[in-house]
A and B are shown apart, each in its own frame.
Chain A
Amino acid sequence: MSVAVLRFPGSLDHESAARAIRTAGGTAAEVWHDESDLPGGTRAVVIPGGFSYGDHLRPGAIASRARVMDDVRRHAERGGMVLGICNGFQVLCEAGLLPGALRPNATLSFVCRQTTLEVTDPDAPWTRALGAGAHLSIPIKNNSGAWFGDPTTARVALRYVGEDALGSVDAAAGVLDDRGTVLGLMPHPEEACDPLLGSADGLALFQAAVAA
């Protein structure tokens, strides 16, 4: 039930992610980057969006070397679920927990807009309840959101539908590790958990975390 939400200097979406976890019926525990261990009883980890360390050097590079990441790696190796959203996706790639890297958008600018995603790999705990082909309306907002990797070996969990994917290889919006328990996602599901804000489609991902 308990989901750890990491926080680095420059994290921005930790509170929205915690709210989404609570909406999904779980409890969220904020974990400071300098901790050596995740809290006991952590079932899933969310690395929220933001500009950790100002995106300096490379987005996610400095945060991926934070102390708490050692325990996140151990958690992942045990098969624990990890969701990296936007900057969190960048952190997971920099940490070597996900394949590939995130490059600057093809527009060479920040892009904030609603996107439609399609589930392309339903054989993972993150996507199983949604099912293959399910469509989700979730916003993106990033500078460096173009995934670069080998789609023949990587598991692409979600793809952008029917629009420019900002230069992402294979229109990938979300990428899984081999096991399917670590998910990196460029769009922001925590911004899509309330119909008042335009969509509640993102809630399914937090429900998956809570069910871990």
Chain B
Amino acid sequence: MSRVVITVMPKQGVLDPQGQAVQGALARLGFSGVEDVRVGKRIELSVTGDDPAAAAREMCERLLANALIEDYRVEVGS
């Protein structure tokens, strides 16, 4: 059994309306110096199989991330 953590983030250069709204809210609450905010998703999986990283990448390609607007990162633990 492997523990896989997938991070899905808006692609660089793609508008991130959520990050933009959160950045504005942080500024209103008095947090200065926040130059950029990007909001994404973290997905945790427990996976059996020989190559969990490859499997997770395929899951990202086919479902978990929208390759047109999102990047993903796969980390495999033990």
**Chain B, 13-28, CB within 8 A of any chain A CB:** 17-18, 21-22, 24-25, 28
The docked-state distance in angstroms from the alpha carbon of A66 to that of B18 is: 17
Number of A-B contacts (CB under 8 A): 23
B25 in contact with A54 (CB, 8 Å) = no
Q: Chain A residues near B39 (CB, 8 Å)?
A: 56-57
The yes or no answer to A62 lying at the interface (CB within 8 A) is yes
A56 in contact with B18 (CB, 8 Å) = yes
B29 in contact with A65 (CB, 8 Å) = yes
Contacting B21 at CB < 8 Å: which of A53, A65, A66? Answer: A53
For the residues of B in contact with A, the DSSP-based class is: helix
Q: Chain A residues near B25 (CB, 8 Å)?
A: 53, 57, 62, 65
B22 in contact with A56 (CB, 8 Å) = yes
Q: Chain A residues near B22 (CB, 8 Å)?
A: 56-57, 62
The docked-state distance in angstroms from the alpha carbon of A57 to that of B39 is: 8
Could you tell me how many residues of chain B have their Cβ less than 8 Å away from some Cβ of chain A? 9
Q: Chain B residues near A57 (CB, 8 Å)?
A: 18, 21-22, 25, 39
Q: Chain B residues near A66 (CB, 8 Å)?
A: 28
**Chain B, 31-63, CB within 8 A of any chain A CB:** 39
Q: Chain B residues near A53 (CB, 8 Å)?
A: 21, 24-25
Chain A residue nearest to B20 in the complex (CB): A56
Q: Chain A residues near B24 (CB, 8 Å)?
A: 53
Chain B residue nearest to A65 in the complex (CB): B29
A54, A56, A65 — which one has the most chain B CB atoms within 10 A of its CB? A56
Chain B residue nearest to A63 in the complex (CB): B25
Chain B residue nearest to A54 in the complex (CB): B21
* Interchain nearest-CB distance for B29 vs A (Å): 6
The docked-state distance in angstroms from the alpha carbon of A65 to that of B39 is: 19
The docked-state distance in angstroms from the alpha carbon of A65 to that of B25 is: 8
* Interchain nearest-CB distance for B22 vs A (Å): 6
A56 in contact with B29 (CB, 8 Å) = no
Q: What residues make up the interface of B, taking CB atoms closer than 8 Å to A?
A: 17-18, 21-22, 24-25, 28-29, 39
Contacts A62-B21, A66-B28 supplied; 8 other A-B pairs, CB < 8 Å? A53-B24, A56-B17, A56-B21, A56-B22, A57-B18, A57-B39, A62-B22, A65-B29
Q: What residues make up the interface of A, taking CB atoms closer than 8 Å to B?
A: 53-54, 56-57, 62, 65-66
User: Would you list the 9 A-B pairs with minimal beta carbon distance, nearest first?
Assistant: A56-B21, A62-B25, A56-B18, A53-B21, A54-B21, A57-B22, A65-B29, A56-B22, A54-B17
23 contacts between A and B (CB under 8 A): A53-B21, A53-B24, A53-B25, A54-B17, A54-B18, A54-B21, A56-B17, A56-B18, A56-B21, A56-B22, A56-B39, A57-B18, A57-B21, A57-B22, A57-B25, A57-B39, A62-B21, A62-B22, A62-B25, A65-B25, A65-B28, A65-B29, A66-B28
